Amino acid sequence: MKSDQAVLEIEGISKRYGSRVALDEMEFSVGAGEIFGFVGGNGAGKTTTMRIIIGVLEKDAGAVRWSGRPLDAKTRTSFGYMPEERGLYPRMTVGNHLQYLARLHGMDRHAARTAMHTWTERLDIGQHRDRAVDSLSLGNQQRVQLAAALVHDPRFLLLDEPFSGLDPLAVDTMSSVLRSKADEGVPVLFSSHQLDLVERLCDRVGIASKGTMVACGTVEELRAGADNSVYIEVDDAPDDWPASIPGADDLPAHRRGAGIVLGLPHGFDENRLLHHAMRLGRVVAFHRQRPSLTELFRSAVTDEPQEAA
């Protein structure tokens, strides 16, 4: 049940470590029932932003609001947080670990046990309840980590690289769980480098670079603001033929199969391009290309720093 009304609001938060700027007026919002994909290269500020939301780090400036009010410690306890690094007790069994975390969130013994059984079954790790966490594969540890974020029935899910290290079946399971929680009205914010997955799963996407949000919206909205591109295949034309188009010698072009994908700025006359191609040879294919999220990301992010987020 997605709502256009913002529940979580990030308003111009900034964070510095000495002379290094980790966040520079980061801004975005997440609505009830919305899955928001937070993407960016290493050092873009994703993890820092999440740690500030959950209260692990203090911001230097800006505001974090929940339902219009400053986010406080009591509200944070109702969140489900999954850090990128392992946050599990390695020698505890899966079942005891999840029940322990549920009890820490105020659930009684019976409710904690019921929730543990529910989520271990839902995430296909029920057969591992009596095994120590560190005896599991990395993929199954990742499932336990997600179960730990879900076991107390959170009001908000905050997940840092939740799909890292998962096989395709586990990705499908986790995607189904996130969509199910969003359908219940729970806002979901997650980061990922798997842009095809983000494009498929998310209602909106935020692209971060150098500690600030450089693009935000639905994938269709991001596409609408991007330059057009066309795929052209011309028999017997020289490889560098796009450079011979008057006024188009600096257009971005790259090969795709037997043809060329040519980036066109807004207002560029596609008919002029087609007529020029027809003079060079037989045009086998000519059609617009819809940019993928990966291509939108590349156009939005340049000179990304490489240190940890």
The CATH number of the domain where 207 resides is what? 3.40.50.300
Going by pLDDT thresholds of 50, 70 and 90, the confidence category of residue 278 is confident
Distance CA(102)–CA(84), nearest Å, equals 20
pLDDT of residue 277: 82
If asked whether residues 26 and 162 sit together in one domain, one would say: yes
If asked whether residues 59 and 122 sit together in one domain, one would say: yes
33 vs 235, higher pLDDT: 33
If asked whether residues 27 and 100 sit together in one domain, one would say: yes
How large is the average pLDDT for residues 247-251? 66
Residue 132, in any domain of the structure: yes
If asked whether residues 119 and 247 sit together in one domain, one would say: no
DSSP letters along 22-80, please? Answer: EEEEEEEEEETT-EEEEE--TTSSHHHHHHHHHTSS--SEEEEEETTEE--HHHHTTEE
Q: 157-180: per-residue pLDDT in tens?
A: 999 999 988 899 999 999 999 999
Domain that holds residue 281: 227-290
The closest of 141, 58, 165 to 92, measured between CA atoms, is 141
Residue 309, in any domain of the structure: no
pLDDT of residue 154: 97
Domain termination residue (choose one: 177, 196, 222): 222
Instruction: Report DSSP state, residue 178.
Output: H
If asked whether residues 121 and 182 sit together in one domain, one would say: yes
Q: How many domains does the chain have?
A: 2
Domain termination residue (choose one: 222, 241, 265): 222
If asked whether residues 106 and 176 sit together in one domain, one would say: yes
pTM recorded for the entire structure: 0.82
The closest of 105, 144, 309, 116 to 211, measured between CA atoms, is 309
pLDDT of residue 184: 96
Residue 303 has pLDDT above 50, yes or no: no
Going by pLDDT thresholds of 50, 70 and 90, the confidence category of residue 241 is confident
Determine contact, residues 221/193, Cβ cutoff 8 Å. no
* Least confident range of 61-65, 131-135, 179-183, 295-299: 295-299
pLDDT of residue 13: 98
CATH number of the domain enclosing 284: 3.30.70
If asked whether residues 26 and 125 sit together in one domain, one would say: yes
If asked whether residues 49 and 137 sit together in one domain, one would say: yes
The closest of 36, 76, 35, 75 to 54, measured between CA atoms, is 76
Q: What is the mean pLDDT of the chain?
A: 89
